[in-house]
Structure 1
Amino acid sequence: MEDNALIKIKRGYLNEDFRFFHLKDKKAEEHAFHYHDFNKIVIFISGNVTYAIEGKYYKLRPWDILFISSKEVHKPIIDSSEYYERIIIWVDSSFLEHQSTDESDLRSCFYLEVKEKSNLFRLTAENLNIVKETLYSLEKAIRDNEFGSKVLQNAYFIQLIVYLNRFMLKTKLNREEKDVQYDERIVNILAYVNENLSGDLSVEWIASKFYINRYYLMHNFKSETGYTLHNYILQKRLAKAAELIKKGVQASSVSEQCGFKDYSGFVRAFKKNFGLSPREYYKAIKDLQQHYGKKDIVEYPFRE
């Protein structure tokens, strides 16, 4: 029997090594903050779009590339009066890991984005031509149903990832401040929260650590990110908890590792967010794994 919670888990389930979308539309649609269990590449082609990612707002130019790592909270802010064209690629991290070598980790582009705290990358004219050609070949292969089409798709996708890693490792990520708006203190607080989910993340502690008035912190965090500090921390802890539960870690240990003060409070928060208890969630994920033969990769709304 499928209830609403299980249907939500199945929606966005990536049962492939990667998934490729080439989209062009004009919709008056308000997007909510959300996060994924997979890495995501957004290649912006045209339109009037600002992408909000973990407290930073990127004003996009044609052929800008965004690297969004798993569990990074994000949403596009779209001017619906113009056509929005983009290529979006969902990427299974385990697939990249299996295709990597000791000398060439294909996940480097996402690691570098996290390290540099910048999701935006701009190509040189020469490198852009290479990427365009590879994307054209990849999209053509995806539409092909002839012998070896899946092998060819994977080959072009790996080629694209190799090129993007090469270009990123040789070039600094975007530092053009006029196209990136953010409060540096809030971005630093976001980074601290993500690195210390098991520790004390009370408003008082964070305000003291970063020498910010607690009321100023709460107001500015909401203003800059679109969500409260409390809710951001809760959602990040729950996202980490879901990841650990999928790996078979006992719920009591998960509660402690994710910074929840008591186990019953953790279970209540988990069930409210995912619609299933930790035990039910683990079983549902295993059922999906057995059905699709892949690990679960899901899109979750970031609850306000």
Structure 2
Amino acid sequence: MLNEYDNHNIYIRHAIDEKPRLVNDDMHIHSRCEIYFFISGRVDYLVEGSRYPLKPDSLLIMRPSELHIARIVNEERYERFAINFPLDFMKEADPDMHLARAFLDRELGKDNLFTEEQLDVKLVRTLFTNMVNAKNDYDRYLALKTNLPLLLYMINQAFVDRKQSEKNSPGFAEKVVPYINQHLFEEITIPDLSEHFNYSTSQFTRLFKKNVGSAPWDYILRKRLTAARSLLHKGISTQQASEECGFSDYSSFYRSYVKYFNEAPGKSRNKK
């Protein structure tokens, strides 16, 4: 069962799979923020290499370009709400962007999860239901304008009030993912990364795929392409976008871009 609404700016859905297939979702990298509210099922969620085994009434947030993937653990009934919206939506309600702190004031893949101990999950479910079940476009507009800011306020308060426990020594993903993102557009190879972190190339590739959910080069490529697409939407030339995002060869950039986005870079630029 799927109940959804998409106005090309905000996309909200309520989905139920009575018997989900034991096939992992594809990796997701959005240009918008996402709030994902898990109702039931057995799902592990990976965000930039951080693993979140979900319990009922868990809520996850992802900011633009934050890679995430759901792993279905078994065939239990899988129910969830999700909403995608642009950062500009928060600016309309809050010009100082305090509501964006939970999305922006943290490292990639860190502090994505909120639990029923941190949020009023009954109210969260009510807010999502209000937004999904509006009967016409105008009611839906009103529901989004009133319910989503309240949901963002709750998340922001939980983020600000949450007491951080002492950090454990960093694991594989906690060390590797920030380093890659810091050097994303530089000349970078998997053998170089493996040597930097004292692994063989095969070990590094295996650990990366296990902890992050993708092969290391696929991760780097998708992140670079997503960044290039953002530059193209701002009107930057295709050649400059490819160079600024770490592609030394334009033809390989072009082929990868068409394969991933199913359109030529120049077409994306015309959509600015």
TM-score by length of structure 1 reads: 0.76
Q: Does the CA-based 8 Å contact 1:127-1:167 persist in structure 2? A: no
Identify unmatched segments of 5+ residues in structure 1. Answer: 1-11, 178-182, 287-304
What is the Cα deviation at residue 266 of structure 1?
A: 2.0
Question: Which residue of the partner structure matches residue 97 of structure 1?
Answer: 91
Contact 1:251 1:278 in 2 (8 A): yes
- Residue type of the partner of 1:204? P
What is the aligned partner in structure 2 of residue 161 from structure 1? 152
Aligned to 1:18: 10
Q: Which amino acid aligns with 1:128?
A: V
Among all aligned residue pairs of Structure 1 and Structure 2, give the percentage whose two residues are the same amino acid: 27
Matches within 5 A, 1:258-277: 258-277=245-264
Report how far residue 149 of structure 1 moved: 5.3
Output the CA distance in 2 between the equivalents of 1:173 and 1:20.
31
Provide the rounded CA distance (Å) in 1 between the counterparts of 2:209 and 2:155: 34
Question: Contact (CA 8 Å) 1:16, 1:92: kept in 2 or not?
Answer: no
- Pick from 15, 36, 43: which aligns with 2:37? 43
Q: Does 1:245 align with 2:239?
A: no
Instruction: Compute the displacement of 1:150 (Å).
Output: 2.0
The unaligned stretches of length 5 or more in structure 2 are none
Partners of 2:61 and 2:112 within 8 A in 1: yes
CA RMSD of aligned residues (A): 3.0
1:191 offset after TM fit, Å? 1.8
Does 2:117 match 1:124? yes
Structure with the larger RCO, 1 or 2 (CA within 8 Å, 6+ apart): 1
Q: Secondary structure at the match of 1:62?
A: coil
Distance (Å, rounded) in 2 between the aligned partners of 1:55 and 1:193: 12
Counterpart among 89, 107, 124 of residue 100 in structure 2: 107
Q: Aligned equivalents of 1:147 and 1:232: distance in 2?
A: 40
When residues 85 and 233 of structure 1 are mapped into structure 2, their CA distance, relative to the original with a 3 A threshold, is: same
> How far has the Cα of 1:216 moved from its partner?
2.1
Alignment-derived partner of residue 142 in structure 2: 151
Count of residue pairs the alignment pairs up: 266
Structure 1 position 66 matched with structure 2 position 66: no
Alpha-carbon distance between aligned partners in 1 of 2:131 and 2:98, rounded to the nearest angstrom = 21
Change in 2 beyond 3 A, CA 1:126/1:71: closer
- Residue by residue over 1:139-187, the C-alpha shift from the partner in whole angstroms, topping out at 9 and shown as x without a partner, is 5xx424497652343112111111111121111479999xxxxx82233
8 Å Cα contact 1:22/1:88 also seen in 2: yes
TM-score, normalised to structure 2, is: 0.84
Write the deviation string for residues 187-244 of structure 1: whole angstroms up to 9, x where unpaired.
Answer: 3212222232211221233233333333321232233334221222111111111111
Q: In 1, distance between residues paired with 2:258 and 2:140?
A: 42
Looking at structure 2, the residues matched to 126 and 109 of structure 1 have their Cα atoms a distance apart, in angstroms, of: 13
Q: Secondary structure of the equivalent of 1:45?
A: strand
Q: Is the 8 A contact 1:67 1:110 kept in 2?
A: yes
Which 10-residue stretch deviates more, 238-247 or 197-206? 197-206
Amino acid at match of 2:51: Y
Deviation (angstroms), 1:72: 2.3
1:190 aligns to what?
177
Deviation at 1:129, TM superposition (A): 4.4
Which contiguous aligned blocks of 4+ residues in structure 1 show a shift greater than 6 angstroms?
173-177
